[in-house]
Amino acid sequence: MAKEHDWLPSNHAEFYKILHLVYNYISKSEVRLRLGLGPETSIGGGGGGGIGRSADGVENDKAEPAKVDHNSKADTPANPHTGQAITWGEWFDTVFKPDMDEFDALYAKVTEPSEKTPVVFAAFKRMRKKVDSNMRKLYKGVIRYNVNITDEDLVEMHLPVISNHRTFSVVPDSYPVGHPKPSFEKIVDIAYVDSETNRKSKPKGVHGAEVVWAILNTPPIDQTELLHSTFATASPCRLVFKGEDRGKTLFFALRWENNRADKGPWSPIQSIVIP
């Protein structure tokens, strides 16, 4: 059985995707109130009072948050400047959101080769670690034990559905072996087979293959440098590039993901020249 924290991807591109899915969904006024976060607050402002405006533009002048018992085991959120205890809604607006904005700005730089300097990448990794911690804190304190969270909420945020019943789900221990080939100009098709069976059929319980990739001048050290991500439920996986990418080297890796979002090991990194 996979550990609970496996829902948070290690790949930067997939993490970026989950981060925004969770933030955009929880920022909806109806969801905020249902989860007990109250109307949107501003930095230095109080939570739960006055007129607030959520990310979807709805005024909440008299709206009251639902009475929710958040996880008592989670650390009580605090104002990063004063150290005083604040509500989860205030923490979401004044800590989670600003850190996410800074992460977004650095992510934009590291995905642009001309701006990806060692200093920028080091700052990006530090901020990634901080935002990763924020995501786990949000999950533990607001999502995981919240009685008002539904399976539909979790699906919308691409988080694993939590069941009170024990279910048997095999975590993949094999990986997809990629067989890339140039298809047409600017197009690369990556066919894949299972590393154990050497067959195109996916292992039992597997939903599809996560494919991470990047165009680089030198081979990457590991999969964390492959900042782009896509998901394929059938072989081959087709990647389409710009004309300016022709003749450059594409590096990629794959791994299986089962129906409960448990992920298997990465394949070795492979490469092909973009036609």
**Residues of the chain where predicted confidence (pLDDT) is lower than 50:** 1-5, 42-69, 71-73, 164-168
| Phi and psi torsions of 151, nearest 5° | -60, -35
Q: Amino acid identity, residue 163?
A: S
**What tens digit of pLDDT does each residue of 218-230 get?**
999 999 999 999 9
Phi, psi of 17 (to 5 degrees): -65, -50
Return the DSSP state at 96.
I
CB atoms near residue 102 (< 10 Å) = 14
DSSP string, 194-220: ETTT-SSSPPTTEEEEEEEEEE-SS--
In tens, the pLDDT along 76-124 reads: 787 777 778 888 989 999 999 999 999 999 999 999 989 999 999 999 9
Domain residue spans of the chain: 9-156, 176-273
pTM of the prediction?
0.53
CATH number of 176-273: 2.60.40.10
Beta-bridged to residue 182, according to DSSP, are: 188
DSSP H/E element including 110: helix 97-110
